[in-house]
Every structure is written in structure tokens, then in C-alpha cells.
A and B are shown apart, each in its own frame.
Chain A
């Protein structure tokens, strides 16, 4: 593929422009370059850089403008190229009379979709921020952004689920609730709006490696965004399931019968419910990928990765063809799922730090900028005060997000089991870790996870292995209990809280399936009611015989 892509490459002018853009960014952001070119003194610290005036202009709005310009230039390059080829092949131009009117039309389209998407994400952030405040999560900067947005998306989806149950997934109902959320937290709303024009701190040691990463990220985001602005999705999975389902939800104004749990599709349905625009649904799906970058950025910083390597690493990940495909060509739920999974890991990191924090340190926090007094009163409810003062607040959020992620894709239960193993590994709990591993394998065989992919039939020892693994798990847990009694109780408690909240968070989907199928079979509950007419060869034959007999 790469070979053919290179040998058939036709966009030399565009590539030249991208190169020039990258060089300009290097010059603009990397002080060493300016020094080398103009002999300008290397700026020493951030405050000096900010006072130089240039960096005041680096904010989210200018980043958006840059992406927009890159989009425009890429499209212009495409039109020129495709017209040339068409003239060569068919002696006709593909796009005629390109004018300023087309540019304005394009601008209007981009701005409409962007504003609609921003409105949804702003609501999610405000709601998530309120919830994290209420629980007293001690999050800052990127971690706050990631976890608050993830929590916000989860809460918004829950809201949509409830509205869907009562057939009220209508634009006026959703828009009213969203507006109330924004008004109730108007101070925060304003704060997040102002963040668009607040200068972004440019890392002091940024160099050309990091700038190449930034440039690649901006270019691919622009290309992806161009691909998203379309009234119908493309790709088999999107057209049959992942965008089809949000469209059906939008049309019905309620949850639809059948399907596996589909939290992310419900979230995507906002594009149809609120704006009746496929583009917005696609953008909401694709945003999972963008927020994944923020989540990876946080984890990378936590791993002490040098900022330049980190930015290059993010670009390397985001430009991976499979990721590009899901970010622009075929919108599914996996990037949204990845974002939620990384948010769970970030919350796990904070939970770990909170349990290792000195007992003397107060962990009580207060609501920041309460816009209305009654929100402050809500904050003082005993239950919330209790949760704020203990470490379980992180476990609760982890559990909620885990349940939510399993509600996006069932395979996300791997994350729950992996983190449980992590909980048991704390303070060298290797027996606990191995116990959870064997339990995970055994559980997967008990619930026939391998049957979903059709692999169960090939493993003749599966029935035996599941019991052996369960036995090993119990033996290892007993050893863990004997070796570390005090920690054992704490780990059991944490595991139960985490697991129970995750299960509770996932429960509504099981309830929906139960109401539709009346079955208690776990696989039926997970898979939901069969979609479309239920047909077998036998039912067709029975019907055929009946019709023939009637004749």
C-alpha cells in the first residue's frame, strides 16, 4: 500500500505547502530556530515568551482557524488536481465555476457543524465538571479536561437513555435540558468559553521534533475534518450499524428495540436529535479520537516523556491508518471507547495517589464557582460529603466509566478485569494479581466470550480449563489472604465497590434487553432483541405451506 501510495503520489504542491507550514511552525514555536536564522537571543522562560506577544495568539480559536485554513487549502488542491485528471480522461471539469460563493458556502458549513458540535461538548464539559466537583475529584489541567469530558459524555448519555425510555428524545426536550445545564453553571460555562481565547502555555523546551508532531496532528485533523462534512456516512459498519443506529434513534425519538448496548451510538444520536445533521453525529464520533490525544498526553506526561517525543508519539499514533480510517472514513465507536478507557486509567492513577496520600492531608474540596446557591446546598448533602472525604470517589467514577465503556462495547470488560488485577497488585500483591488473572480467564470462558468470535468449538479443553482456572484463582486468593490480611480486606472492598458501581452503570442496558426479550439468559440480555424480522428456513417453510394450503 505504501509503495503504491508513493509511486502514484500526485500532490507535490500540497506536500510542499505542508512542508512550508511545518517549517513556519518550527520557526514560530522553536526558539532555537529563530536564534539560528536571525541570531535572535534564545528566550529564557515562559513569561518572556508570553511578553514577546507572539504566544498571546496561540489559543484554541487560532488553532481552529489554522485547521480551517488547512482544510480550505487541501480542498483547493484537490479541486485543481481532480479537474486536471478529469480534463485528461473525460475532457470535462469535475467542478465548474469555482467562486467566492463556494468558499463562503464551505465556511458556513464548517462553522455550522463546528458550533453545533461545540455546543454539545460544552454541555458535556460543564456537566462533567459539576459532577467531578460534587464528588470532590482532585483533578487539574489535562486530567480535569479528560475526566470531566468523559464523565460529562457519560451523564449526557444517561440523560438521553432516560429521555429515550419515555419517547422524549426530541430536539426541544434535549435543547431545554442542555440550556438549563449551561445556565445553572453559567460561571463555568463562561469560563470554558473564555478558554477558547485564553493563551495556551507553550512548553519551554519545545523543539523541531515536537513541532513536526504538532504540524502532523494539525494537518491530519484538517484532512479528517474535511472528510467528516458529509450528509451520509460511508463504510459498511457505519451504514449498517454505527451511524444507522443513531439515525434510527433520531427518527424514532426514543430508544430502538434490539441491538447490543450502544452508549456511544446514543451519544452520537444527538447529531440527529438536536440538529438533524449527519455531519454533527460523525463529528461527535470522531471527537473520541481527538480527546484520546489529550488523554494520551496526560498519561505521557505522567510517564515523564519528553514533550517533543510525546507530541511526535501522539502524531505517530493518530496517523496510524486504522485510526485515521475510524477518525474520518468509517465512523464507529472504538475511538470513543478508547477515550473512555484512557479516562478510566487516568482516574485509576488518581485513585492510587489518593490512597497513598498522607492521612493528615485534607481531601475535602468545595464546589468551584457555584453559579446558584442551591448547587452549594446540594454539595453539602451528607452522602456527598462522605464520598468527598474518602478515596472511594475515584473508584465510583472509575466504576461508572467502566460500566459506561462496557455499554459501548462488551469487550471493554477486559479493562475492568485488567484494572481489578491492578488493584490486587498494589504493594507487591502478586498472588492476588495472578488470582484475578485466572479468574478473568475462567470468567471469560464461563460467559462464553470465545463463542462470540466462534472460537469455542476449536478448543476441546475449554470446559476443563475454566474450572481449573477458577480453582487456581481460589487457591491463589487464599494464599493472598494468608499473606496480607489487612491489605486483602482493603482490596476486596475496593474491588467490590468498583465492580458494583460498574455493574450498576451497565444495568440499564440489561434492563432494557430484559423488557424486550423477557429472557434471563445473560447472552440474550447482552445481545438484546434480534433486529429485524426473525426468520429461519423452517419458519419460511411453515409459512409457505400455510399459504399453499389456504390456496
Chain B
């Protein structure tokens, strides 16, 4: 065997609760993050991602308390994003119990943040989260503040810059596909995985186990989903079984 392809559960957290919307709006309450994370760990999830979606617009720090409770109860890797604007914020999140920190809006506004965090904590700790949306011209633009603002930045150019500044991993969300359950944006995934040599996490659009297989075949090192796992529309074990049948190495619990 070899390095297993990761199946990641993403929990969008707002004011201590898990929420999920379609195309970044219409948020619904989906439960307690620590309880959900513990359930996923038991079901064999390979990593948990918390995105504190209240942090960026409201200017609040990440949910350190939720991170700490998770680290005490759930012994799988934990990536946390939302509201990290300085290396000191990142230190606080790591000390609370995160393994990796994802940067999004703050990195677009101050790209040096990527260099600073990588220098202090290592590139393996710094995840660049990119929310990308197709343009009419066949490319993708970067959106920030939870998908509210179009930066006009070209996603490929920004991702390449982020990696050269020290991002060790890309969390790539297709805003066009997010919450739609029609499958990942494979064109986007292929374009990004061809242009950078760090792991890319595919996010946005998974609706069934077959979608995860397609994403891995399009270059993803890890595949992520949220609401379909929260609502048990798709089980983590089912995804792994399908991947295994397709010849993709996975981890079983």
C-alpha cells in the first residue's frame, strides 16, 4: 500500500454550531461540531476541516473553544480556517489543537501573511483556501469573505503565487458546484493540479460516491464534502468502498 487518499468532512461553523447553505447562502443548522466530528472519526474520516464562517464578516476570532474540545475528544487531523489574520492568530489556533490552518480572505488582502505563517510554522501547516467561480471567459475568479466579493483575481495565478509564497496545500472550492450535489468541477481541479506541486483538496459539489472517484482521477490528493455527510445522504464508508473498487488506496477503520 502507500499514501491513502484522504476523505475529509468539512464543518462550516457559525457561533459554535455547524451550518450549511447552498451556494454559500440560506444557512441551516446541522448540529454540534464536536459531536459531528466524533461521529465522523468513528466512521473512518481521515481529516476534519472547520471553517469558521462567522469569523471573517463579523471580525471574530476562530472558534478556539470548539477546536480545543475537538482536540480533546477526536484523534484525527484537524484543519481550521476563518479569521486568521496574523501569525499570532495562527499560533492560537494551533495551540488550541489544530494541525493545519487555512487562510483565505486575509491572505488575498495581505499575501505576505502566507510567507510569514510558513516561515514560522512550516509550509506543511499552511493551507490556502480558494473559493473559485467560473467567468464567462472560461477561467476562474477568486472570491473572498465567504463568497461575497469577487476579487477579480485569476484563480490559477493566485494559487501559483500562494504556493510560491509557502502554502503547503490548496483547499479548492468550486462556488459554482458548492451545495449542488452534481459533482466536483473537474476542469478546475485538473487545471489546478497540473499547475502546482502541492496536494489539492477537492471541495464543492459532491453528491454521490462516484463523484469522489472522479475528483481523485482528476488529480485531487484529498476529497471533501459537508452536507451530504451531515445529512447521511452519503456514508464515509460507502465513499471509501467505491474508491477502493476503483483502485484508489484508502484507509479503513
The finding on whether chains A and B are genuine partners in a shared complex, rather than unrelated, reads no
A: which residues have CB within 8 A of B?
none
